[in-house]
Every structure is written in C-alpha cells, then in structure tokens.
Amino acid sequence: MNQRVLPPIRPEYDRVLAPFVDVPVERILPLSTRLWQQGWLRKGLILAALALLWEGLARWTDNDLLLPGFLATLSALAEGLANSELLDRVRISLVVLGQGYLSGIVLAFLLTTLAVSTQFGRDLLSTLTAMFNPLPAIALLPLALLWFGLGSGSLVFVLIHSVLWPMALNTYAGFQGVPDTLRMAGRNYGLKGLPYVQQILIPAALPAILSGLKIGWAFAWRTLIAAELVFGAASGKGGLGWYIFQNRNELYTDRVFAGLLMVIAIGLVVETVVFASIERVTVRRWGMVR
Amino acid sequence: MTLVATREALAATEPGRAAPFFRRRPDAVASPQVPEDMDAPLLSVRGVSLEYRTLERVVRATHRVDFDVYAADRFVLLGPSGCGKSTLLKAVAGFHRPVEGEIRLGGVPVREPGPDRIVVFQEFDQLPPWKTVAQNVAFPLRAAGIVGRREAEARARHYIDKVGLSRFADSYPHQLSGGMKQRVAIARALATQPKMLLMDEPFAALDALTRRKMQEELLALWDEVRFTLLFVTHSIEEALVVGNRVALLSPHPGRVRSEVNSHDFDLTSIGSRDFQAAVQRLHDRLFDTDPALATAGAR
C-alpha cells in the first residue's frame, strides 16, 4: 500500500569544504561576444548593410535621375558641405526648430503643472490634447500663413503645435505614474509646492518626460521639413526642406538625396548623441530604464 | 504609571552589574532626549478615529484609539490586516487627518507631514532612484533645510557607516539588495534626527534571514542612539522582539484591545518558554474574537 511506503532514513554528514581553486570563479567572455555587446558596432553594421543595398540597387537600375547611388549622394553631400550652402540651410532650419521646440516645451510644462495642481487644469489639458493632438500641424500651416505671414513666425507656430500636445501628454502621464511611496517620502521631508515638483516629481517622471521630448523632437523636425517643402523660403532664406524642394525642381536628384541624408543624419545624431547621453547620465544610471 | 513602575522594579532587581540587561532597558535616563517631566509622553494619541473614502463608501479604519509613546520607547502597533495600524502610523506622520481626536507630538498637534517624524516605508521605492546612497541620506537634511551642505554630507557618512553601508555610499538604490535599501532608509531617518522614527512594516518585504538580521541591527542601533520608535507589524514575534511595549489592535475598525510590555525579549529569547508563552497569549488575544466579529473580520 502506498501509505505504508516511508522514505528511508539516511545518515547525516558534515564535511569541511576546502577553498575552491579548481576553476576560476569568474571568466572573461570571448572577444567576439564582447564586441557583439557593443551597440554602436551592431548599429554600424546595419547602416553599412543598408548603404551597400542602396548602392547595389542604384547600380542595377543605372538611372541617376531616379535613384542616384550612395557614393554619388555622398559626393553631392560633400560638395554641399564644402561650399557651405547645405550648412547654411541646416543652420536656418535648426534656428527655427529650436525656437519652436523650446517654446513648445515651456508651454507643455506650464500646462502640465496646471494639470497636476488643479482639477480645472486636468480638464483643460485632457480636452485640449484630445482636440488638437490628432490635428496634423501641416493642416494648420495655411491658417498660420494667413495670421503670421510668410515668415518664421508661422513656422514657429506650427512647430509649437506639433511639440506641445505630445509633450504635455507624456509629462502628465509621467507625473501621474510617480509612486505614492516616493510622493509621501518627499512630503515627509517637508517638501511642497515648486520644490516638491522640482525635486520629486520631475526626476521621478524623467523617463516619461524624456520620451515626450524625443517624440516632440521627431514631430517638430518632421513638421519643419514638410512645412518648408510646402511654402519654401521665408524672405529668401530657405531651410533644408526648401533645399530639397529646389533641387528636385532642377532635377539635381543627387542633391535631393544629399538633403534627405542630412535630415536623417541630424535625426540620428540628436537621437543617439544628445538623447542617448542624457539618458545614460540620468534614467539609465538611476536604474529607472533598462 | 505602570510602565515607569516596571522600569524601576527592573532596575531594583538588577543593580547595575548586568550590562546586557541595561541594553534591554528602555529607560529614558540614558537617553539624551529625556524630557524633564517623565509623565509627559512624547507622542499622545487621544481618541483618534480615522476614515478613508473609496468610490462608494466611507470606511472607518480606526475608532477612538488611545495610546502614549514615551521618549526612547520602541512602541509596536500589532494587529491583523484591516486593523488600521498603517493608517494610524500615516496619521502620526501627518498624511491623514483624524476625523475626531487628536495626535500630539511633544505637546504640539500634528497637522502635516514634516521631517520631525521620518517614516521608513515597507516599499523599496521610498528612496529616490536618482540619488546615490549618500545623497539619499543627506536629502531630507538639505530639503528641510536642517543643516548646511557640508554638515549634511558629514552626517550622512556617519549614519551610513552606522548601518554598515560605507562601501556603497556612491551606489544608486537600484544596485542594492532589498535589505540594503531598508538600511539606507533607516540611516536616512536617523540622520535627520527626528523626534520620532515611524516604521511601517519595514522588514515585511525581506526574506526571513535578512529580516532577522535587520531586527538585530535595529535593536543595536536603538541601543546606541536611543531614538523613539513607532513600529507597525503583523508579526507577533517581530512585535515582541523589536518592541518594549506592544499595543494590540482589533480589526474593522481598529481599536486598541490591550497593551503589553515586551522589554524582556530580544532575538536570543525567541526559543525560550516565556517568549513562547507571550506569543501564545498575543495569538489568543488576536484570534479569540466572538463568532460575529470573526465573520465581520473575514468579510
């Protein structure tokens, strides 16, 4: 019968363990594995493969007017950089972008601060974002042109529109997500009002705020290039979008590609250098993001 | 004053030669923060009722609770879940306002949270993850403007050393184990030198071995610093070991059923007959409710 079965009673033992020296306790990973751990190397490989594919495709179609190769684009890019035309265009675009982006961020913080402190502010934020977030910034451009004229004013207006809503939504979600214990700890230290927001809420919501900044940046950059493509130069000074549009009209397809490459390069630099280093010294270091 | 009487009786039976015995004596004589008038409790909770609101109803968490905590007491609130002990502690911290009754700390009514009552929470996320251990310990000192930067750093190092984390002073909280995080929280609380230390099941999220070690360290720290402690737990053993006086709360709503002395017990007495008897006594008091109350508690 099963109930009769008893486990055997075995003798006890106790032995003194000698220091462990047979095998090293830690080992270094092989070089290939360590190299593969490097993000820049993996991403560089992806970029190289894409460039190779592009060049191959261009050689195969063999039509410089439709698809100039990677090397042709690079030489057009080098030329544009050398005669500083491209750099001027980039500078003009970035100045406008900076104005719109920064004002959008400031407005988003004001709106969010209002939203975390009052019921009315919460309602205001949710209503406004529900109304305006789905509205494409470009759709406002004709109206902006009417109001602010053919200048950087209307560009800044659409940029603010493209940054403000996603940024406010993300920041607000970040503030809402701060754990109760952390809030109580902050209040326990006697913090309240603005110092409380600065020393507890903002750092604790930084992952969400950073992702809002990233989304806002992408929206703004995208909106700016598109807006420049649509209405081009303001008082004779066009940005990068205008450069692309102009060269397409003149069928300099390699310069169009150079302009596009510049747009991509700036996006990549901002993403991998600026935002990645901000993340590395803040949220990653603090263990809030893996 | 039964408490004082007990202390005097203890002092009389053991005339000064047994040092370990003094370690267990929660007398205020050795404490630097002894009030002139021993009869005035540091914290007095008088007729405190607390309520919290859910979407549909108002729930009474505690009903007319009275207790006193004297300087250098290690006062434990013990009770099953739903007895409002955590809510009571948060009310002492100033996060909840009583619907009736009054909480006075050093004769002054408690109105809002403040750095004179530092809370050690159960959750590990009480430490801002963007500050290193040293910055975390110095944070309340700076935030409350208690001392200057240099003094805050010095004090932080001192208390980090006390909890044995000097090697980790520059680590971030996410690099520490749960027990180490709680040690940082305790160091932070001590560095502020609050009038009272409030601990809300601080060791409940730790594994059993670490919990045991932390209890031991807490008692050693108390022995050295003689802070006043209000400690919430649902473990009878922990209450008896950590506390010198235990208040037993009944659930739904929380009311003080009894207060017992536990200054005789420490970690070494866990297996002893007296300790087991005390545990059994508290256990009986916790569970021998009449059937009506028991079903109310289960609901």
* Rounded mean pLDDT for each run of 10 residues along chain A, 290 residues in total: 76 82 82 85 91 92 86 89 87 90 92 87 91 87 84 87 92 90 90 85 91 91 85 66 86 89 89 89 84
Tokens of A121: 């502010």
Q: Tell me whether residue A172 is in a domain.
A: yes
Instruction: Tell me which H or E stretch contains A44.
Output: helix A39-61
As a whole number, mean pLDDT of residues B230-239 equals 89
What are the residues whose beta carbons fall under 8 Å from the beta carbon of B25, sequence distance 6 or more?
B7, B10, B11, B263
Q: Tell me whether residue A200 is in a domain.
A: yes
How many structural domains compose chain A?
A: 1
Q: Tell me whether residue A23 is in a domain.
A: no
Express each pLDDT in B71-101 by its tens digit: 888 899 988 887 888 888 989 988 888 888 8
Contact B144 A182 (CB under 8 A): no
Q: Tell me whether residue A17 is in a domain.
A: no
Q: What are the start-end ranges of the H helices in chain B?
A: 2-13, 19-24, 85-93, 133-143, 149-162, 178-191, 208-225, 236-242, 273-287, 291-298
DSSP track, B247-276: EEEETTTBEEEEEEE-TT--GGGTTSHHHH
Minimal-distance CA residue of chain A relative to B194: A189
Contact B173 A287 (CB under 8 A): yes
Confidence category of residue B207, pLDDT binned at 50, 70, 90: confident
As a whole number, mean pLDDT of residues B201-216 equals 85
Nearest chain B Cα distance for residue A262, angstroms: 36
Confidence category of residue B183, pLDDT binned at 50, 70, 90: confident
CATH code, domain with A275: 1.10.3720.10
Q: Which residues of A touch B121 (CB under 8 A)?
A: 181, 184-185
Could you identify the residue written with the tokens 């544009």? A80
Q: Which residues of A touch B143 (CB under 8 A)?
A: 186, 189-191, 195, 199
The single-letter DSSP state of residue B63 is E
Domain that holds residue A154: 61-284
For chain B, what percent of residues have pLDDT higher than 90?
3
Nearest chain A Cα distance for residue B143, angstroms: 6
Q: Which residues of B touch A195 (CB under 8 A)?
A: 143
Contact B127 A185 (CB under 8 A): yes
Q: Tell me whether residue A29 is in a domain.
A: no
What SS3 class is residue B231?
Answer: strand
- A155, A159, A175: which is closest to A106 by C-alpha? A159
Confidence category of residue B193, pLDDT binned at 50, 70, 90: confident
Q: Tell me whether residue A279 is in a domain.
A: yes
Residue B52, chain A, CB below 8 Å: the answer is no
Q: Tell me whether residue A167 is in a domain.
A: yes
Q: Tell me whether residue A111 is in a domain.
A: yes
Which of B114, B118, B126 lies closest to A182 in CB terms? B126
| pLDDT value at residue A234 | 53
pTM over the 0.90 mark? no
